[in-house]
Structure 1
Amino acid sequence: MIVYEYPFNERIRTLLRLEDLYEKFKFFVQQEHPMQHHVALATIFDMLEVAGRADLKSDLLQELERQKQSLLGYRSNPNVAPEALDAVLAELDSVSSALVGAQGKTGQNVRDNEWLMSIRGRTIIPGGACEFDLPSYHAWQKRPATQRHGDIMNWFAPLAPLFEALALVLRLLRDSGGPVKMTATGGSYQQMLQGKVYQMLRLSIDETLGAIPEISANKYMLWVRFTTQDGDCKPKALEEDVPFDLTLCNF
């Protein structure tokens, strides 16, 4: 199954973009080639660009506290396993404490590093990080892979609490809804939302169908139109019925 996610607001859109960047960072930083470590470092710069558009730290702290208060209300519910509830509450406390302990503005340690900022300024230019532009960066890339990995992880370390909080918030959001089997008749599906507020939509579809959802939504209506790709990857409307699983997520 291929899972497609659609954010209903800018806040969730930002979290999903940061999550995507974090997944790329984790992959490339574990590699050994200098070019792969270059991508990992450039990804940190992208993280700062996205995270700098909003006050994510306070926003995430408020959401974690709201989730904690909501979960505390389940203590008296006999259908909730107390061990599982306590584990989630402990995780919320741990992640919140780490985020509170993160000093200063997100990524300020990178912004205060003139050498890193010189690299960031050149990477914005296509091909701008060549050895003749940044000889000191070229020399750093020739260091042993373990040393480069250690440097990158040290630069990323102050950002780690933010991404731990982000991952927990998105996990709780994804767990808030259950999948419902739907069918897009003639490749198209519509659903009235009746003004109910959702944070995110998750759509799962069998990859062998070759169907690609194009999703749009507001607080009143949800539209899904399925397309497929020809040999040149150009989208082409699907006219056949398409089964899929739909999950509407909301805290």
Structure 2
Amino acid sequence: MITYEYPFNERIRTLLRLEDLFHKANGFLQRDGSQEHHVVLLTLFEILDVAGRADLKMDLIQELERQRQSLLSYRNNPDISEDALSGALYEIEQASAALLGMTGKIGQHLRDNDWLMSIKSRASIPGGVCEFDLPSYHYWRHQDPGVRRDALVAWLQPMLPLRDALTIVLRLLRASGRPEHHIAVGGAFQLMLGGSSSQMVRISLKMHDPYIPEISANKYALNIRFIRPDSDHRPRHCDNDVEFDMLFCNL
């Protein structure tokens, strides 16, 4: 299956963007190439920009505490595994403690590094990080892969409590509903939500179905228009009936 997620508010949009950026940074960090490590650094700058748009730390701490209180209500429930419950509570408590241990603004250690900020400012210019623009960065990119990786890990490490907390919140969010099967007649689907409090919708299709959902939604209505790419990957309106699974998520 291939799943498309559509957030209903800016808070969830921010968490999804950060999840994607942390995933990309970790993936390229495992490789040894200079180009891959360049991508990691640029991704760190993106994380810095996205995380600075809101008071994410307190928002995540409050959400984790709300989930902790909710889980505590299941104590001594014979239908709930005590080991699983204790493990989930421990994970939430550890993530909350790590967030509380973060001092200052998220990513401030990057902002305080003049060398990194000089790279960030040049990186916003197309082709702006050539060796004649930033010879010191050119030198760094020619260091041993282990040296580069150690530096990248050191710059990423202070932001990992944010990653761990949002991973827990998004995992709980995705597990909060049950999928239902639907058919978009003629490639179009509409559902009235009546002021629903859902925070995200997930649309899943079979991996090889050549359909792409274009989703627009608010708390009152959900509209999905399916398109299909042509041989040049350009989107074209789909007139076929499309089967899909849909899951509304809410914490």
**TM-score of the pair, normalised by structure 2:** 0.98
- Structure 2 residue 198 is matched with structure 1 residue 224: no
- Structure 2 residue 168 is matched with structure 1 residue 162: no
Cα deviation, residue 140, structure 1: 0.6
Q: How far apart, in 2, do the equivalents of 1:87 and 1:181 lie?
A: 33
> Which amino acid is 2:136 matched to?
S
> Which amino acid is 1:246 matched to?
M
- Structure 2 residue 206 is matched with structure 1 residue 206: yes
Aligned residue in 2 for 1:187: 187
Q: How far apart, in 2, do the equivalents of 1:180 and 1:143 lie?
A: 52
> Which amino acid is 2:11 matched to?
R
Cα deviation, residue 168, structure 1: 0.7
Cα deviation, residue 180, structure 1: 1.1
Q: How far apart, in 2, do the equivalents of 1:203 and 1:85 lie?
A: 29
> Which amino acid is 1:18 matched to?
L
Q: How far apart, in 2, do the equivalents of 1:76 and 1:222 lie?
A: 40
Cα deviation, residue 227, structure 1: 0.6
1:208 aligned counterpart, secondary structure: coil
> Which amino acid is 2:155 matched to?
W
1:66 aligned counterpart, secondary structure: helix
Unaligned 5+ runs, structure 2: none
Cα deviation, residue 76, structure 1: 4.4
Aligned residue in 2 for 1:25: 25
> Which amino acid is 1:151 matched to?
A
Q: CA 1:192/1:79 → structure 2, altered by over 3 Å: closer, same or farther?
A: farther
Q: How far apart, in 2, do the equivalents of 1:55 and 1:218 lie?
A: 24
**TM-score of the pair, normalised by structure 1:** 0.98
Q: How far apart, in 1, do the equivalents of 2:198 and 2:81 lie?
A: 27
Q: How far apart, in 2, do the equivalents of 1:133 and 1:2 lie?
A: 42
What per-residue deviation string (whole Å, max 9, x for no partner) do you get for residues 207-246 of structure 1? 2220100011111111111110111211111111111111
For these two proteins, the number of residue pairs brought into alignment is 251
Alignment root-mean-square deviation, CA: 0.9
Aligned residue in 2 for 1:236: 236
Cα deviation, residue 48, structure 1: 0.5
Q: How far apart, in 1, do the equivalents of 2:114 and 2:208 lie?
A: 49
Aligned residue in 2 for 1:135: 135
Cα deviation, residue 77, structure 1: 3.4
Aligned residue in 2 for 1:63: 63
Unaligned 5+ runs, structure 1: none
> Which amino acid is 1:107 matched to?
G
Q: How far apart, in 1, do the equivalents of 2:177 and 2:72 lie?
A: 19
Cα deviation, residue 79, structure 1: 2.3
> Which amino acid is 1:35 matched to?
Q
Q: How far apart, in 1, do the equivalents of 2:86 and 2:224 lie?
A: 39
